[in-house]
Amino acid sequence: MSMLWTRTPTPRSTIGSPPVAPSSPEAGRQPAPPATPTGRLGPAAADGEGGDRGGTDHSGTDRSGTDRGGAGTTVAAAALVGLLLLPFLPLVLASLSQGYFHPQLLPETWSLRAWRLVLAPGAGTWVALRDSLVVAAGVTLVSLVVAVPAGRVLGTRSFRGRRAVEVVLLLPVLVPGIAVAIGLHVTFLRLGLAGTLPGVVLVHLVPATPYVVLLSAGVFANADLGLEDQARTLGANRRQVAWSVTRPLVAPGLAVAALFGFLVSWGQYATTLVVGGGRVVTLPILLFASAAGGDTAVTAATALVHALPAVALLVATARILGRDVPTLGGAR
């Protein structure tokens, strides 16, 4: 009796490829492709990849709605700018007129007479503009030197008497400026500071410094100063921490505080009049003198000269702070 031997053939494999497993009844069947959903994405997929209808992107966002939102934002911004510039329109019309009276909507006669008088070399406008810039810049610088350390202490530390210090800082704002100026004028006469630019700078510091200090305290209170400790742990020295860590964190807020200090000094009239004694003539002093003269066109032109530098500085600061400010690690 002969026995019949059967040998199951082994599939061949190529070099570098794993051997193929023996076939089974389930082998050879390919997995079925997933069914296409019949929901709201089905018709879009049927049209081909990347197809969209009705201005809707793959995330379901309506692009036309986004465009309408951008247009609405532009219109709102334009309306806000127009509202802010509206008070300057009567001044512009009055400065370009000759005989502009109340019932008239537009001047009957247009003239540049007021601007020629205001901008004339002997009118004193350029000297007043120079003194105003010098005084306001000096007040801003000195108030920042005082406000940065004081604001850091008030914003980051809790100590006994903190509320009392804040109340004392607010007292110069609550007391009328003319009273403060008269009280300081006697002292400045003894020190020889009356009628000088340094004396006017010092008296302007009284109403300006509280704003700068309190704003700086809010800046330091909201800043993540724990990054300073992390930088020291990584080996940074005190100068590197101040320049590379603290400065980017607090610079925008301190710029706003400095802007407030500048604007407070820029608009001071009573304190400048009392301490300056007529020897220091700034733009507010010149503006009130023009108003007392009774010439509406000259007064309007002087008011615009007084307002335009402050508005330009405000716009420039807003544009600078509106840009992306690089932070630690290059992130924006």
Residue 329: per-residue pLDDT:
42
CA dist 158 and 303 (Å) reads 45
Mean pLDDT value of segment 110-129: 92
Residue 97: per-residue pLDDT:
87
Residue 5 lies in a domain: no
Residue with tokens 């540049």: 112
DSSP structural state of residue 329: G
Of 106 and 54, the structure prediction assigns the larger pLDDT to 106
Residue 62 lies in a domain: no
Residue 224 lies in a domain: yes
Residue 19 lies in a domain: no
Residue 307 lies in a domain: yes
At 193, is the pLDDT very low, low, confident or very high (cuts 50, 70, 90)?
very high
CA dist 133 and 136 (Å) reads 5
Q: Is the pLDDT of residue 314 over 50?
A: yes
Query: Which residue type does 51 have?
Result: G
Report the chain's mean pLDDT, rounded to a whole number: 79
At 143 the three-state DSSP class reads helix
Token pair in block for residue 49: 């990849």
pLDDT in tens, 270-311: 999 999 988 999 999 999 999 988 888 999 999 999 999 998
Mean pLDDT value of segment 249-261: 92
pLDDT in tens, 14-42: 444 444 444 444 444 555 555 544 444 44
64 φ/ψ angles, rounded to the nearest 5 degrees: -65, -35
Residue 62: per-residue pLDDT:
54
Residue 35: per-residue pLDDT:
52
CA dist 70 and 74 (Å) reads 6
Q: Which residues pair with 62 in a beta bridge?
A: 56
**Which residue range(s) make up the domain with 295?**
126-323
CATH of the domain at 163: 1.10.3720.10
- CA angle, 15 as apex, 12 and 20 as ends, to 5°? 40
Residue 319 lies in a domain: yes
Residue 34 lies in a domain: no
Q: Is the pLDDT of residue 161 over 50?
A: yes
Mean pLDDT value of segment 179-183: 88
If phi > 0 it is left, if psi is from -120 to 50 it is alpha, else beta; for residue 161 that is left
Dmax (CA) for the chain in angstroms is 143
Would you mind telling me the total number of residues written for the chain in this entry?
Answer: 332
Q: Is the pLDDT of residue 73 over 50?
A: yes
Residue 305: count other Cβ atoms within 10 Å of its Cβ: 22
| Domain count of the fold of the chain | 1
Report which of 105, 94, 157, 106 is spatially closest to residue 290, judged by C-alpha positions: 94
Residue 22 lies in a domain: no
% of the chain with per-residue pLDDT over 90: 38
Helical spans, DSSP H, in the chain: 42-46, 63-85, 88-95, 113-118, 125-156, 162-174, 177-191, 197-222, 226-233, 238-241, 247-266, 270-276, 283-293, 296-322
